[in-house]
Amino acid sequence: MANRTLQTSDMPKAVPLHSRAEDNLQFIRDAMEGASSFTSISGIGLVGVGLIGLITCLVQASISETLSIPLWLGALALSFTFSTAMTMNKAKDQGTSLWSAGGKKLLYAFAPAMFVGGIVTLYFLVNPIDAPLPAFWLALYGSAIMTAGAYSIALIRIMGAVFILLGGITFFSPVPENLMMGLGFGGFHFITGIVIWKFHGG
């Protein structure tokens, strides 16, 4: 039986060792990123949100006892912009991103309750009724924060629970709504931000 000369094209192509190592490392990085939490919430950002909340509370008290929805929505827009920018900066300094796997999980968990809050607010704007809108805001925001906290540090979950508690108190007690808004969106944001700033990297 004639021997067939082995041609170079018949041999399997060798994969460089460094190429396989790079592929394995990338797989490990992707797996770790997918399982990781997002710990780059900015304490400075939350301090800023707290200051905005306190100022808004004081302005609200000076203009009317009736809740000014446009005033608080403006404060929400300013707070969201500032806190997001500061969180993105902190994440960048820590070598990660808000759009990492952990960051996306946090955002996806945060969004539904906030969307419901938007629907409730729109309903109040279109159909003014005698019901405590701040209680809805506090409770729904707390739900959003507590759920998102599953993908962040434990303090965020505690923060969410406190907001839910404040919402419940606002629903069932005669405590002034603006005071509860100031305590939650102002004071507690500020305190939480200071703790994160001091103990969790800024």
> Is residue 10 included in any domain, yes or no?
no
How far is residue 181's CA from residue 75's CA, in Å, rounded to a whole number? 12
What is the mean pLDDT of the segment spanning 58-66?
91
Quick one: three-class SS letters along 185-196? HHHHHHHHHHHH
> Is residue 16 included in any domain, yes or no?
no
How far is residue 126's CA from residue 116's CA, in Å, rounded to a whole number? 15
Model pLDDT, residue 37:
73
Summarised one tens digit per residue, pLDDT across range 149-161 is 999 999 999 999 9
> Is residue 175 included in any domain, yes or no?
yes
> Is residue 93 included in any domain, yes or no?
yes
Nearest to 132 by CA among 180, 191, 201, 60: 180
Q: What is the DSSP string of 95-149?
A: T--TTSHHHHHHHHHHHHHHHHHHHHHHHHHHS--SS-HHHHHHHHHHHHHHHHG
Nearest to 182 by CA among 84, 75, 80, 85: 75
- Number of structural domains (the chain) is 1
Name the DSSP letter for residue 153: -
pTM of the full predicted structure? Answer: 0.80
Residue 145: pLDDT band with limits 50, 70, 90: very high
Query: What are residue 132's phi and psi, to 5 degrees?
Result: -80, 90
Range of the domain at 69: 42-199
Give, in order, the Cα–Cα distances in Å from 155 to each of 88, 93, 158, 200.
19, 21, 5, 10
> Is residue 174 included in any domain, yes or no?
yes
Residue 33: pLDDT band with limits 50, 70, 90: very low
Q: What angle do CA 70, 71, 76 make, to 5 degrees?
A: 90
Q: What percentage of the chain carries pLDDT values higher than 70?
A: 82
Residues 6 or more apart from 53 whose CB is under 8 A from it?
A: 75, 79, 181, 182, 184, 185, 186, 187, 189, 190
> Is residue 106 included in any domain, yes or no?
yes
